[in-house]
Amino acid sequence: MKPRMTFEEHVEMGLGLARLRDELVHRTVQLSNAYPKSGPESVPAQRLEKALNAIDKARSELEDMLYGEHQEQAGTSVYYPQRENRR
């Protein structure tokens, strides 16, 4: 059996994914404001949207794992940290 992540590793992962998501949201909005919302020019923004959905699903699944592995320390702020804590 493989070792599980420590609580500290979950915190680091949560912060990294939150930052990554913030950056993808920014870039998606940037593309959406610069190019049409349909047609071939909309494809890059649509792909970033799919990446955002994948990150959201991974965060949710990782949060479930966190609660299963570290019940006493787990909290929703690990994978969904406040914006001011993401820097």
The predicted structure's pLDDT at residue 84: 73
Residue ranges of the chain whose pLDDT lies below 50: none
CA-to-CA distance for 26 and 61, rounded, in angstroms?
24
59 touches 24 (CB < 8 A): no
CA 65 to chain centroid, in Å, comes to 15
The predicted structure's pLDDT at residue 87: 63
The predicted structure's pLDDT at residue 34: 97
20 touches 55 (CB < 8 A): yes
CA dihedral sign of residues 71, 15, 77, 55: negative
Instruction: Supply the mean pLDDT for the chain.
Output: 95
pTM for the full model?
0.89
